C-alpha cells in the first residue's frame, strides 16, 4: 500500500494547524468557543436526551492509505452519523482526534478538512472540539458524534420479539465489493459499476433522514458495519431471540448484482463483508405501513429480509427452499 502523500508542505505547529485548518469548521458552533477553550458546552433541548457514539479508523485497516483525503474524512464522519441515525437521533456536532504520522503533509490535511466541511454542510453539523497529536504510525483518526432525540425514544439493539419483521435500508455488499475492486480481486466490471462500488466503500451513506422516522415504529435497531448476519446476531443477542433471513430478499444494487452473476461465490462477501452502514431493524408486522411511510418520507429504500424467531433457532440465512446456507465468514472481526 502506498504511504500517505509526503510532498507539498511540512506540518506547522499544533496551534497553527488548529487555527488555520480546524477552527473554520467550528465557526458556526457557539458550543465550540471557536476552539479556543478546553471543552465544548452543549445543552440538549428541553425534553430531549443526548446520544453519543465514537468510532476510530486506521490507515490500512479501515481505509487504504492512498484513498483520497476527502473520502477518508467523509467516511470517518459518516460511520459515526450512521450510528446516530440507527438510534433514531438527529446529529448535532462532533469531536475529532487526529494522530498524524511523519508522512502526513499539510496539503493532505487541508483536503481532509475540506471533506469534513462539505459534509458538515450536507448534514447540518459542526466541529465542537478535539485534539491533534503525532504518531509513529499508522495514521489514526477518531470521531465522537453527538446527537439528540426526545426523551425515552432511543432505538436499542434489544427489544425485538419473535414474529417481528426484519428490515434493512438501502443495499448490501457494495462496500465489500468496492474494496475488492481496489484490491483488483474482482473479475471484469464496467467502469460505471467499479466507480459505484468503490464510492460506496469510501463514502458510505448514513441514513440520517430515516433513523428519526423509525422512533415508535422499530422495536430494535442498529447499523450494519460488520456484515448483515453478524450485526443481526448482535441485535438478536441483546433481544434474546433468533432470526431467519432469506438470501433472495437481500437488496443488491445493479452493480453488485452484475458482479455476483459473474462470480456467485461473492454472495458470501455480500453477507459477511461489512462496511454497509445501512440501518438494520425489527418491527412488528402490524407496523408495516408505518415502515413503508417512513421509508417514503425519508426517500430511502427499505426491504423486508426476514423474521425474528425464538432464541433457540439462532440466526439463519436460508435459500428460497428454506434450506440453511453455510457461511464461511459471519462478518468482520476486529480482533
CATH number of the domain at 231, please.
3.90.650.10
Handedness of CA 252, 255, 256, 261 (dihedral sign): positive
Q: Which of 103, 118, 150 is a domain's end point?
A: 150
CA 144 to chain centre: 13
Q: What is the dihedral of CA 1, 186, 207, 329, to 10 degrees?
A: -90
Asked if residue 3 has pLDDT above 50, the reply is no
| In-domain check, residue 243 | yes
Q: What CATH number is attached to the domain comprising 146? A: 3.30.1330.10
The answer to whether the beta carbons of residues 105 and 11 sit under 8 Å apart is yes
Q: Are residues 202 and 308 in the same domain?
A: yes
Asked if residue 233 has pLDDT above 50, the reply is yes
Q: Report the pLDDT value the prediction gives residue 10, as an integer from 0 to 100.
A: 62
| In-domain check, residue 37 | yes
Say if residue 224 is preceded by a cis peptide, omega within 30 of 0: no
| Mean pLDDT computed over 248-255 | 97
| In-domain check, residue 8 | no
Q: Report the pLDDT value the prediction gives residue 308, as an integer from 0 to 100.
A: 98
Q: Are residues 138 and 170 in the same domain?
A: no
Q: 33-42, 81-90, 143-152, 236-245: which has the minimum mean pLDDT?
A: 33-42
Q: Which of 94, 122, 150 is a domain's end point?
A: 150
Q: Are residues 128 and 244 in the same domain?
A: no
The 10 Å CB-count burial string (b at 16+, else e) for 25-55 is bbeebebbeebeeeebeeeeeeebeebebeb
Q: Report the pLDDT value the prediction gives residue 35, as an integer from 0 to 100.
A: 92
- In 120-273, where do the E strands start and end? 126-134, 140-150, 165-169, 220-223, 242-246
Q: Are residues 31 and 82 in the same domain?
A: yes
Number of residues written out for the chain:
335
The answer to whether the beta carbons of residues 294 and 193 sit under 8 Å apart is no
Q: Are residues 169 and 310 in the same domain?
A: yes
| In-domain check, residue 5 | no
Structural domain for 139, as ranges: 14-150
The answer to whether the beta carbons of residues 58 and 117 sit under 8 Å apart is no
Which residue stretches of 222-283 are H helix?
Answer: 228-239, 254-262, 267-272
Asked if residue 2 has pLDDT above 50, the reply is no
Q: Are residues 92 and 191 in the same domain?
A: no
Q: Report the pLDDT value the prediction gives residue 262, as an integer from 0 to 100.
A: 84
| In-domain check, residue 174 | yes
| In-domain check, residue 159 | no
Q: Are residues 133 and 20 in the same domain?
A: yes
| In-domain check, residue 328 | no
Q: Are residues 145 and 26 in the same domain?
A: yes
Q: Are residues 45 and 177 in the same domain?
A: no
Q: Report the pLDDT value the prediction gives residue 199, as an integer from 0 to 100.
A: 97
Domain count along the chain: 2
Asked if residue 187 has pLDDT above 80, the reply is no
Q: How far apart are CA 42 and CA 51, in angstroms?
A: 12
Q: Are residues 284 and 311 in the same domain?
A: yes
Of 295, 234, 245, the C-alpha closest to 271 is: 245
| In-domain check, residue 206 | yes
| Mean pLDDT computed over 271-293 | 97
| Mean pLDDT computed over 123-149 | 96
Q: Report the pLDDT value the prediction gives residue 329, as an integer from 0 to 100.
A: 66
Q: Are residues 314 and 281 in the same domain?
A: yes
Q: How far apart are CA 233 and CA 224, in angstroms?
A: 11
Q: Are residues 183 and 312 in the same domain?
A: yes
Amino acid at each position: 500500500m502506498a504511504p500517505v502523500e509526503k510532498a507539498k508542505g511540512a506540518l506547522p505547529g499544533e496551534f497553527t494547524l488548529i487555527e488555520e485548518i480546524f477552527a473554520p469548521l467550528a465557526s458556526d458552533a457557539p458550543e465550540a468557543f471557536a476552539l479556543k477553550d478546553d471543552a465544548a458546552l452543549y445543552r440538549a433541548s428541553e425534553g430531549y436526551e443526548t446520544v453519543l457514539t465514537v468510532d476510530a479508523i486506521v490507515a490500512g485497516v479501515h481505509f487504504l492509505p492512498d484513498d483520497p483525503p476527502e473520502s477518508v474524512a467523509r467516511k470517518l464522519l459518516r460511520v459515526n452519523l450512521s450510528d446516530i441515525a440507527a438510534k433514531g437521533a438527529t446529529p448535532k456536532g462532533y469531536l475529532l482526534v487526529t494522530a498524524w504520522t511523519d508522512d502526513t503533509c499539510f496539503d493532505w490535511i487541508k483536503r481532509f478538512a475540506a471533506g469534513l466541511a462539505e459534509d458538515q454542510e450536507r448534514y447540518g453539523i459542526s466541529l465542537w472540539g478535539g485534539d491533534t497529536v503525532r504518531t509513529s504510525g499508522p495514521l489514526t483518526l477518531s470521531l465522537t458524534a453527538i446527537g439528540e432525540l426526545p426523551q425515552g425514544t432511543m432505538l436499542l439493539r434489544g427489544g425485538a420479539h419473535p414474529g417481528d419483521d426484519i428490515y434493512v435500508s438501502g443495499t448490501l455488499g457494495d462496500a465489500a465489493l468496492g474494496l475488492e475492486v481496489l484490491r483488483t480481486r474482482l473479475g471484469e466490471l464496467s467502469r460505471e459499476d467499479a466507480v459505484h462500488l468503490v464510492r460506496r466503500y469510501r463514502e458510505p451513506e448514513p441514513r440520517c433522514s430515516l433513523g428519526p422516522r423509525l422512533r415508535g415504529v422499530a422495536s430494535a435497531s442498529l447499523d450494519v458495519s460488520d456484515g448483515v448476519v453478524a450485526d443481526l446476531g448482535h441485535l438478536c443477542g441483546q433481544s434474546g431471540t433468533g432470526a431467519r433471513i432469506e438470501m433472495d430478499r437481500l437488496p443488491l444494487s445493479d452493480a453488485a448484482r452484475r458482479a455476483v452473476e459473474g462470480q456467485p461465490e461473492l454472495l458470501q462477501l455480500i453477507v459477511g463483508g461489512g462496511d454497509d452502514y445501512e440501518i438494520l431493524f425489527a418491527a412488528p408486522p402490524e407496523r408495516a405501513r408505518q415502515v413503508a411511510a417512513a421509508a417514503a418520507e425519508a426517500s430511502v429504500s427499505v426491504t423486508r429480509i426476514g423474521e425474528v424467531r425464538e432464541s433457540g433457532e439462532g440466526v439463519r440465512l436460508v435459500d428460497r427452499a428454506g434450506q440453511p446456507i453455510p457461511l464461511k465468514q459471519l462478518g468482520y472481526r476486529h480482533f
